[in-house]
Amino acid sequence: MNLLTFTFIAFLGVLIGHLKSIYPNGRIATYFEIIDEPWLPIRIKQYLQDTMFFRWKMTFEKQYVDKRITEILLTLFQNNIELNRIIAIGTGGGDMEPFLLQTFRNEYQYDRNITLTLTDLVPNPIEWNRVQQYFKDLPIDYVNYSVDATNMPHTLHTTITGSTADTTAVSTSANFESEVKEENNCVIDSGVCGSDDKVESKSVANSVRFCTAMIHHFEPSLVSAILADAVRKRQPIVFVDGKAEFDQFFIGPFRSIFLSLSSSLFHLGDSLQQLKELKMLEKEAEKDGSGNNNNMFREEEEKLLQTVISRELPRLALTWIGVLPVIQAHDYLASLVRFYGEKDMKAIVESLGPLKDEFNWHYHYDLPVFSLFIGVPKHMSL
């Protein structure tokens, strides 16, 4: 990272801030984010997605999330006890949901067992397995095949522990999505996946759908289709996204650089910590005379070491030469001019036609930093 990089990012902030000043009342849908571009290698996309996990970690630890967001979402579960599962759509490398559930438990003593299921159109099982390991006390599973949020299956086959994919499943091919489907022997339309004994069917009948920091990537027609599917299947839906506040055009890019650098160290340190814990378990097994499991420990150690070499060290290199920080700073600025406002969301709800009358719609756009949009069936209370 050098002065030229910082100067370039500062220039981007001024330029895109100027764009927003020209269009203060609407989103600039034609502007692009690099992470959405088809030419960007899938590995770099996943590195960028993985940083979101660290961003949410810092956001909750530093209490940047307004308490009203947490309390509104907590009320949703308190008032509707039939809801026992969060289905996170477009999860990428991990979103706010596990941190939200942890906050429910630690700060509000709300310890009802709510399961979190991670899904995406292009799955990221390696990072999702890391999320499981990080939140060992939370019931988290994930879907190791493509899930289309505009046509959510009535049942999901979820991976409870571990992953059926290893590090070699991360491809730099543009056809990664189809490769994932073939690898896992999945029939997407029927929701049937493979014959792995770690996979079981879970009903989504008593679920609430969450989509965090994602909808600004979607065209209004796609957001409308996601809402329409939730209405047809009688599932509450929550969108959490950012807001275009002018100070973020100047603060945000440099915060993105810091988070990018910190995230690369976090992911490397997390893998090394897991490796250290495995070695300690192996030593304890030897002392207890149960050394027969040594081969199992060594296999796991080799997998983790391979992850460090093939995934974490390249991530660190791409970060420190400036590739990932510059992309993230640019995309953060781009997202500021693409966020949906309350007026935009009301227009999308209107586009649902008669379906809009089946739900109550709640708009919370007066909160700092984040916006919150919730749709619930009329028989539910919020």
Low-confidence spans in the chain with pLDDT less than 50: 21-22, 24, 162-199
Q: What is the C-alpha radius of gyration for the chain, rounded to an integer number of angstroms?
A: 21
Give the pLDDT score at 276.
83
Distance between CA atoms of residues 249 and 334, nearest Å: 10
Distance between CA atoms of residues 145 and 177, nearest Å: 9
Q: Strands 85-88 and 115-118: what pairing?
A: parallel
Distance between CA atoms of residues 51 and 103, nearest Å: 20
Distance between CA atoms of residues 232 and 229, nearest Å: 5
Q: Strands 237-242 and 207-212: what pairing?
A: parallel
- Tokens representing 140? 């988290």
Sign of CA dihedral 185, 186, 187, 190: positive
168-199 burial by CB neighbour count: b if 16+ within 10 A, else e? Answer: ebbeeeeebbeebbebbebebeebbbbeeeeb
From the CB of residue 64, how many other CB atoms can be counted at a distance below 10 Å?
13
The answer to whether the beta carbons of residues 115 and 237 sit under 8 Å apart is no
Domain borders along the chain are: 1-30+246-336, 31-245+339-377
Distance between CA atoms of residues 165 and 184, nearest Å: 8
The answer to whether the beta carbons of residues 333 and 12 sit under 8 Å apart is yes
The answer to whether the beta carbons of residues 371 and 240 sit under 8 Å apart is yes
The identity of residue 105, as a single letter, is R
Which class would CATH give 31-245+339-377?
alpha beta
Distance between CA atoms of residues 362 and 313, nearest Å: 44
- Tokens representing 110? 């709300």
- Tokens representing 233? 């299947």
